[in-house]
């Protein structure tokens, strides 16, 4: 027999408790959610730049006379860069701080994306893809670092899920929007346009991101909430 969750007291209490928890989390401040929006959009751009080559491959293969081996090598060098980047980027982020490291990574991967539009050979694309992989590898550790700094233990899984949703958003937007750009302006302009989006993000990150203790407008209540190491027990209003 199915339970009616509208009248079930346990379900009603659970919904009420969840609603109270959400309201309480928002009441202490919303600055951390703005920081999360920044890393969500970075992740979205990361996957747009990554997926674009696959969408444009038929056009590029025809125009540049790529063989199947050429395309395989282009993808291979992206993976090499990505593997090397994962080894190096986390340590670099810890050493110089997430603000500077992520700024530099997105700046370089945006320039590498735009440089695809200037490439005239398969070798040129291999170089661009290697640099793209090397720098895009910073995205995940930088996003994790940001959520670790800005969210208490009880919210980090939610924050990680939200920024990681950018991977699917980017993967969906690329085949939906890129053909329009290709039709009107061509593949060179498509790569340059994607790189330009990254440069806009870099400016926003430079202007808007601060570590919690350095943020000019974060409230003391939100800062104290962020610095909780364990999720607080729910308050029993009936007690």
pLDDT in tens, 77-116: 999 999 999 999 999 999 999 999 999 999 999 999 999 9
Higher pLDDT, 150 or 7: 150
Instruction: Give the Cα separation of 148 and 157 in Å (integer).
Output: 10
What is the predicted pLDDT for the residue at 239? 39
In CATH, 32-226 is 1.20.1250.20: yes
Tell me the CA distances in angstroms from 69 to 61, 65, 99, 120, 128, one per residue in order.
11, 11, 39, 17, 17
What is the predicted pLDDT for the residue at 228? 83
Higher pLDDT, 139 or 26: 139
Instruction: Give the Cα separation of 126 and 80 in Å (integer).
Output: 10
Instruction: Give the Cα separation of 98 and 6 in Å (integer).
Output: 46
What is the predicted pLDDT for the residue at 22? 55
Instruction: Give the Cα separation of 16 and 236 in Å (integer).
Output: 12
pTM score = 0.84
Angle between helices 187-208 and 31-64 (to 10 degrees): 160
Cα Rg for the chain, rounded, in angstroms? 22
Checking if the pLDDT of 26 tops 80, the result is no
What is the predicted pLDDT for the residue at 9? 53
For the chain, percent of residues with pLDDT exceeding 70 = 85
Instruction: Give the Cα separation of 154 and 160 in Å (integer).
Output: 12
Instruction: Give the Cα separation of 36 and 209 in Å (integer).
Output: 10
pLDDT in tens, 111-151: 999 999 999 999 999 999 999 999 999 999 999 999 999 99
pLDDT in tens, 66-75: 999 999 999 9
What is the predicted pLDDT for the residue at 224? 94
């Amino acid at each position: 027999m199915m339970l009616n969750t509208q009248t079930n007291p346990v379900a009603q209490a659970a919904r009420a408790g969840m609603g109270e928890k959400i309201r309480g989390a928002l009441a202490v401040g919303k600055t951390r959610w703005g920081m999360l929006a920044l890393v969500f959009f970075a992740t979205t751009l990361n996957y747009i730049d990554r997926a674009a080559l696959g969408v444009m491959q038929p056009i590029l293969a025809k125009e540049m006379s790529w063989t199947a081996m050429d395309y395989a090598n282009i993808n291979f060098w992206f993976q090499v860069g990505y593997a090397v980047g994962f080894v190096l980027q986390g340590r670099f982020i810890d050493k110089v701080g997430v603000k500077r490291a992520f700024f530099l990574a997105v700046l370089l991967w945006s320039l590498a994306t735009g440089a695809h539009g200037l490439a005239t050979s398969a070798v040129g694309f291999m170089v661009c893809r290697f640099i793209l992989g090397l720098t895009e590898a910073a995205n995940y550790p930088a996003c994790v670092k940001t959520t670790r700094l800005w969210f208490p233990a009880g919210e980090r899984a939610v924050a990680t899920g939200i920024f990681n949703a950018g991977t699917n958003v980017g993967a969906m937007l690329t085949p939906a929007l890129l053909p329009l750009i290709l039709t009107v302006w061509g593949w060179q302009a498509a790569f340059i346009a994607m790189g330009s989006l990254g440069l806009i993000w870099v400016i926003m990150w430079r202007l808007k991101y601060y570590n919690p203790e350095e943020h000019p407008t974060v409230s003391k209540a939100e800062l104290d909430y962020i610095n909780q190491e364990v999720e607080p027990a729910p308050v029993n209003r009936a007690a």
